[in-house]
A and B are shown apart, each in its own frame.
Chain A
Amino acid sequence: MENGLNMTDTLVAKQSIKTTCCYCGVGCGVVASVEQGQLTAVQGDQSHPANLGRLCIKGSSLHQTQESPDRLLRPSVNGKETDWDGAIGYVAESFKKIIAEHGPDAVAFYLSGQLLTEDYYVANKIMKGFIGSANIDTNSRLCMASAVVAHKRAFGGDLVPGCYEDLEQADALFLVGSNTAYAHPVVYQRIAKAKGTRPDMSVVVLDPRRTATCELADWHLPLRPGSDAHFFNGLLAYLVRIKRIDHDYIAHHCEGFDEALATAESVGNVAAVAKVCDVPVEHVQAVFDLFARTEKVVTVFSQGINQSSSGVDKGNAIINCHLATAKIGKVGACPFSITGQPNAMGGREVGGLANQLAAHMSFTSQKEIDRVAQYWQAPNMAQNEGLKAVDMFKAIKTGKIKAVWIMATNPVVSMPDANNVKDALQACELVVVSECVADTDTAKMADVLLPATTWGEKNGTVTNSERCISLQKGFLSAPGDALHDWQIMVRFARHMGWQEAFSYSHPVEIFREHARLSGLENDPGSSGREGVQERGFNIGALQAISEFDYQNFEPLQWPVTAANPRGTKRLFSDGRFFTPSEKAQFIPVQARLPMVTPNQWQVIMNTGRIRDQWHTMSRTGTASKLMGHIDEPYIDVHPLDIEHFGLQQGQLGLLANRGAVFYGRIKASMDQRRGEVFVPMHWNDKYAASSRADALVNDVVDPICGQPEFKHSPVTMEAFVQAWNGFLICMDDIVPSAQYWAKITLDRGYKFRLAGNVLPEDWRSWLSEPFQDIDEWTDLNDSDRQFYRAVGYRGGIVTVILSIAADETAPQEVRWIEQQLGQQVDVNARFALVAGAPGAGVEDEGSIVCSCFEVGDKAIAAAIATGCTSARALGERLRCGTNCGSCIPELNALIRQGQTLDCLAESGQS
Chain B
Amino acid sequence: MKKTSLVIIGNGMATGRLLDELSKRDLSAYSITVIGDEAHGCYNRIMLSPVLAGEVTPSAIINKPSEWYQRAGIRFISGARVQKIDPGQKRVMTEQGDTFAFDELIVATGSRPVAIPAGNQQLSHIYSFRTLDDVERIMASAYSALGGSFEPNRLKQVNAVVIGGGLLGLEAAYGLAQKGLAVTLVHRGDWLLNRQLDKPAAALLEKVMREKGVSFQLGCEVVRFDGVKDVRGVELSNGDRLACCLAVIATGITPNKELGLAAGLKGERGIAVDEYMRTSDPSISAVGECIEFNGVTFGLVEPIWQQCITLADRLALQKLTPFCNSPVATKLKVSGVQLFSAGDYLTAPAHRELTYSDSATGVYRKILIKNGQIAGVVLFGDVRDGQEYFEMMHAQRSVIEVVQSLLLGKAFYQSELAAIAA
Enumerate chain A interface residues (CB-CB to B < 8 A): 775-784, 786-787, 793, 796, 812, 827, 830-832, 834-835, 837, 839-840
Q: Give Cα A783 to B352, complex, Å.
A: 6
Give B405's nearest chain A residue, CB to CB.
Answer: A835
Residues of A contacting B407 in the complex (Cβ-Cβ under 8 angstroms)? 780
Chain B interface category by residue count: 20 to 34
Contact: B360 with A793, CB < 8 Å? yes
Q: Are A840 and B354 in contact, with the CB atoms below 8 A? A: no
Kindly specify which of B175-183, B238-246, B409-417 makes contact with the partner chain. B409-417
Residue among B351, B403, B404 facing the most chain A CB atoms (10 A cut-off): B404
B360 in complex: contacting residue of A776, A837, A840, CB < 8 Å: A776
Minimal beta-carbon separation of A567 from chain B (angstroms)? 61
**A839 contacts B352, C-beta separation under 8 Å:** no
Complex contacts, A780 vs chain B, CB 8 Å: 354-356, 404, 407-408
Residues in B with CB closer than 8 Å to A827 are 361, 382
Within the complex, the shortest CB–CB distance from A768 to chain B, in Å, comes to 12
Q: How far is the CB of A724 from chain B (nearest CB, A)?
A: 14
A835: B residues at CB distance < 8 A: 405, 408, 412
Report how far A776 CA is from B361 CA in the complex, Å. 9
User: Which of B354, B358, B415 lies in contact with A781, CB distance below 8 A?
Assistant: B354
B411 touches A840 (CB 8 A): yes
Inter-chain contact B354/A782, CB cutoff 8 Å: yes
**CA distance in complex: A787, B404 (Å):** 7
Closest 8 CB pairs of A and B: A776-B360, A783-B353, A778-B358, A835-B412, A835-B408, A839-B411, A781-B355, A780-B356
Give Cα A812–Cα B422 distance, bound, in whole angstroms: 14
* A831 and B354 within 8 A (CB): no
4 A-B pairs besides A781-B354, A783-B353, A784-B352 with CB distance below 8 A are: A778-B358, A782-B352, A830-B363, A840-B415
Contact A779 B352, CB 8 Å, known A827-B382, A839-B412: no
Would you give the shortest CB distance from B409 to chain A, in whole angstroms?
7
B interface secondary structure, majority: mixed
Q: In the complex, are the beta carbons of B359 and A831 less than 8 A apart?
A: no
> A453–B408 Cα gap in the complex (Å)?
51
Residues of A within 8 A of B403 (CB): 782, 786-787
Can you list 22 A-B pairs, Cβ within 8 angstroms, ordered by A? A778-B358, A778-B359, A779-B355, A780-B354, A780-B355, A780-B407, A781-B354, A781-B356, A782-B352, A782-B354, A782-B403, A783-B352, A783-B354, A787-B403, A787-B404, A796-B360, A830-B363, A831-B382, A831-B412, A832-B412, A834-B356, A839-B411
B residues touching A (Cβ–Cβ < 8 Å)?
347, 351-361, 363, 382, 403-405, 407-409, 411-412, 415, 419
Q: For B352, B363, B411, which residue has the most chain A Cβ atoms within 10 angstroms? A: B411
Of the candidates A779, A783, A832, A837, the one whose C-beta lies within 8 Å of that of B356 is A779
A777 and chain B: residue at smallest CB distance: B359
Cα–Cα, bound, A775→B411 (Å): 28
- Which residues on A sit within 8 Å (CB–CB) of B358? 776-778, 830
Q: Is A837 a contact partner of B415 (Cβ separation < 8 A)?
A: yes
- Bound together, the chains give a CA A787 to CA B347 distance in angstroms of 18
Q: Are A831 and B409 in contact (CB under 8 A)?
A: yes
Within 8 Å CB of B352, what residues of A? 782-784
Who on chain B is nearest to A827 by CB? B361
Cα distance, A781 to B368, chains bound together (Å): 12
Rounded to whole angstroms, the CA-CA distance of A812 and B418 in the bound complex is 14
Q: How far is the CA of A614 from the CA of B114 in the complex (A)?
A: 78
Chain A contacts of B363 at CB under 8 A?
Answer: 778, 830
Residues of A within 8 A of B382 (CB): 827, 831
Instruction: Determine the residue in chain B with the shortest Cβ distance to A839.
Output: B411
Rounded to whole angstroms, the CA-CA distance of A839 and B405 in the bound complex is 11
Q: Are B354 and A778 in contact (CB under 8 A)?
A: no
Task: Looking at the assembled complex, report how far the CB atom of A829 sits from the nearest CB atom of chain B, in whole angstroms.
Answer: 12
Write out the residue numbers on chain B whose beta carbons fall within 8 Å of the beta carbon of A784.
352
Q: Which residues of B contact A781 (CB under 8 A)?
A: 353-357
Give Cα A834–Cα B413 distance, bound, in whole angstroms: 12
CB-nearest residue of chain A to B419? A812
Chain A: minimal CB distance from B228 (Å): 50
A782 CB contacts on chain B under 8 angstroms:
352-354, 403-404
Residue of A nearest to B414 (CB): A840
| Residues from chain A with Cβ under 8 Å of B357 in the complex | 777-779, 781
**A808 CB to nearest chain B CB (Å):** 15
Q: Which of A776, A782, A786 has the most chain B CB atoms inside 10 A of its CB? A: A782
Which B residues touch A775, using CB under 8 A?
360
